[in-house]
A = this chain, B = another copy of it.
Amino acid sequence: MNAPRLDGQVPAHEAVYRALRAQILEGGLAPGASLTLRGVAEGLGVSMTPAREAVRRLVAERALAMTDTGRVQVPLPDAGALDELFRARSLLEPELAVRALPGVDKPLISALRVIDDRLEERLEAGDAAGYVRANNAFHSLLYARANAPALMALVESVWLQTSPVMRRVYGRIGTGSLIDYHEAALEALAARDADRLAAAIRSDVEQGAALVREGAA
């Protein structure tokens, strides 16, 4: 009835955290949906204690919200909150991209291209969840090269907050005519041009912001 630090095993609270986090990022949880600690615990076969810890961790990261009576739900950011979040992304992500630039090599660019192809494929297939997932993977993989864990943590908190609505927006909008700023970013990476890279990432983020703005419910 215990699992402290078995070999490569992760603690139960960590497993619960990862499961919930993935569901939020990949759109498994709709904005506004509510969770119960007992529900989470039973759903993952653990007791309430680790479930509580995982939920609280996500609340601290603002990926989940708590009412003043302790009820937990997936937050539904209003227009103002979304504006803040996309502004944060457009300020922080170019910095991460530029910091990644020195560590970028050809294999990475190839890997990014593969992801970008999958992304466009999902887009045309109208697979909103797959699109969001691929988009996350693209930015994630690039920024990982920046070796900037503190900045990365900030950006990931923002992603957790925007992902649920993104999925909803992409699901609703036909994802019609999107300018491919990822392609521009890849070119800037190949050319090792920091300014163009920063501009491409900023444009990419701001395009997402515009999309969310017009797709507001």
Binding site for B on A (CB under 8 A): 5, 11, 49, 52-53, 56-57, 59-62, 69-70, 77, 80-81, 84-85, 87-88, 91-92, 95, 147-151, 153-154, 157-158, 161
Select from chain B the residue with minimum beta-carbon distance to A4: B70
A52-B53, A56-B53, A61-B60 in contact; A150/B154 too (CB < 8 A)?
no
Select from chain B the residue with minimum beta-carbon distance to A53: B56
Contact of A60 among B5, B57, B158 (CB under 8 A): B57
Q: Are B161 and A84 neighbours in the complex by a CB distance under 8 Å? A: no
Oligomer copy total:
2
Most B Cβ at <10 Å: residue of A69, A84, A85, A153: A84
Question: What chain B residues lie within 8 Å of A150 (beta carbons)?
Answer: 62, 77, 81, 84-85, 88, 158, 161
A62-B150, A153-B62 in contact; A95/B85 too (CB < 8 A)?
no
Question: What chain B residues lie within 8 Å of A49 (beta carbons)?
Answer: 49
